[in-house]
Amino acid sequence: MERTKKFTIGSKSFVAKFPNVGQIIDIDSMKQALSSNRYGNMAASGVVSAYFALDLIDAISFFMIVCPEVQQYFDIKNYTTMQIDEINDIVKAYTEQIRPWYDETMNELKGIANKPQDGETEGAA
């Protein structure tokens, strides 16, 4: 299981550490804040433009909480005031490099958490 992920945006390399519990909560809280508490509705909408907006929200939330050095390196004052062409490489790095790693690692960690402990039987509470 990879707890760190090296990724690139343009020619610059960064390393992300898998978020801890507090960071995971902060990421989801940030997603709600950036979507004006409409994240779930946007995800359920089936609207292509909403899915693109969710990619923006996911990338911004992850990088703000887990990799603030991205914002510092690119001298970003506020992700939400950027133009689409300015943020495309950041979103692409998130969707192609970070999200697959994050999802796989999270699934592995959940699998570990769901395995019965010694002496327990599967499905026992």
Residue 110 tokens read as 């959940």
Q: What is the pLDDT of residues 38-57, one digit of tens each?
A: 999 999 999 999 999 999 99
pLDDT value at residue 123: 52
Domain ranges for the chain, please list them: 28-107
Q: What is the pLDDT of residues 69-125, one digit of tens each?
A: 999 999 999 999 999 999 999 999 999 999 999 999 999 988 876 666 555 555 554
Q: Cα torsion at 50, 43, 18, 124 (round to 10°)?
A: 180
Is the whole-model pTM more than 0.85?
yes
Enumerate helices (H) and strands (E) in the chain, giving the number of each. 6, 2
- The closest alpha carbon to 1, from 96, 95, 98, 102, belongs to 102
Report yes or no: 39 and 57 within 8 Å, Cβ to Cβ: yes
